[in-house]
Each structure stands twice: as structure tokens, then as C-alpha cells.
Amino acid sequence: MILCAISFLLLSLLHSSTALVTHAKALLYGATNETDRGLQKYFGAIEFYQVSDQHVVVNGTIAGLTPGDHGFHVHVYGAYGKACAEAGPHFNPDKVNHGGPNDSERHVGDLGNIHAGGDGSVLIDIKDSKVSLNGRNSAVGRAVVVHAKPDDLGKGGAPDSKSTGAAGARLACGIIGIVEENDERNAALTSFASPLPIFISTFSTLVPVLFSYYTL
């Protein structure tokens, strides 16, 4: 009962109808068992913008990838331990098969592929109608993950095609935290030294985990 009460309180604070989330951000670090962020490889930052009730825009720049396509998904838990394995499976509240971003049946977290050029960099510009920053499909407090291989969008013959798109290992991940607009502390999101990312990461990690218990 105490756990349920805590989870309800956190969810109420996070998704209050009087304070809709319009901007969130994730800093991507390499999948490793190293717990010191300062020793982890930094890949880039991903921004999420709620531009309407129906659409979220995802943009950002990633560097250091191998050239080619890489699966790009929102995973259910806001955690990056055990080489990003603690992020869990794709965010899939509808309990349906994996698919591509334009498919009628797909995970909420299915954002398809990103393409790294010859220099290993990616400029991300995605507009999606399934994922949100508010309500049931909210990505806030979850993790965004870049995979080693292309996502087959659920259309391949591999055993895990309908669950992961056979996208392979997790290369990098980051916890999606709320950005408060017009707040000077936003600058701290790009700094290792600031306590703000630690607070956001810790708070964001608790919410989906507690929510999973609350909905059992």
C-alpha cells in the first residue's frame, strides 16, 4: 500500500494536468558497466518536444557510431546499468508486436532507425504521433536506446523480429528527463558536475519502476 501511494504521488506530480510537459532531454552515454559518467563515452543529446496533442518532435546530434542504420527506441525503464540492459524492453503499454514508426501496430517506443554517415554522426529529426511527453504514452522517465544493428521494423525473419526488430546489442542509452523552460538550470543538463542531471535521472528512474508495481 505504501509503495502504491508513493507511486501515485510521483505520477500525479509528473503528469499533472496543470503542468503539461513540453520539453524533455536525454544525454546518451555508451553501454557499459562503468558507473562513473565521467569515464563513459558521450554520444550526444536527444531533445523531445511536445508540439501538439498528437505529435512529438525528436531531434539531436549523435557522434561516434559505425556508419549505417541503427535501431532507435524508447525503452520502458529509466535506467542505464548493466550496459543499458536495465532499461528493459521497448516501451509497449499496448502489448502489441514491434513495428515501424508508420505501422498501425507498433510499440509506442518504436522510433525506427537512425542513419550514421561515413563519419559516424547522425542528425536526428523525427516527428512521431505515438510517443508523448504526457499521459499514458509518456516517454518521460524512460530511456532512449541506440542499437548496434538496423531495426528490421518487425518485417524480418529473425526470432526476435516481432519484439526488438533484431536490432542487436545496445550501444548507448540515456534517461529522458523533463526540461523546465526559461530556467537557467537548463544549462546544467549538459554538465557532468551539476547535481541537476543526477536529480532528474534518479527521480525519473523511480517513476516507471514504481508504476510497474502500481499497475500489477
**H or E stretch including 73?**
strand 68-75
98 is catalytic: yes
Q: Which of 107, 128, 142, 151 is catalytic?
A: 107
Q: Which residues pair with 73 in a beta bridge?
A: 110, 145
147 is catalytic: yes
75 is catalytic: yes
15 is catalytic: no
Q: Which of 70, 106, 142, 170 is catalytic?
A: 170
Tell which residue, 197, 100, 207, 86, has the closest CA to residue 153.
100
Residue 216 CA to residue 65 CA, distance in Å, equals 38
Q: Which of 15, 70, 73, 106 is catalytic?
A: 73
70 is catalytic: no
Reduced to 3 states (helix: H, G, I; strand: E, B; else coil), residue 8 is helix
Q: How far is CA 41 from the centre of its chain?
A: 18
- Which three cell numbers, joined as nine digits, stand for 37? 559518467
Q: How far is CA 103 from the centre of its chain?
A: 20
Q: Which of 15, 69, 70, 98 is catalytic?
A: 98
Residue 7 CA to residue 213 CA, distance in Å, equals 8
CA separation (Å) from 110 to 34, 75, 87, 204? 27, 9, 14, 20
55 is catalytic: no
Q: Which of 15, 147, 151, 152 is catalytic?
A: 147
Q: Which of 90, 106, 151, 152 is catalytic?
A: 90
Q: Which of 15, 106, 110, 128 is catalytic?
A: 110
Q: Which of 15, 69, 70, 75 is catalytic?
A: 75
Residue indicated by cell numbers 524512460: 142
Residues with a catalytic annotation lie at 73, 75, 90, 98, 107, 110, 147, 170
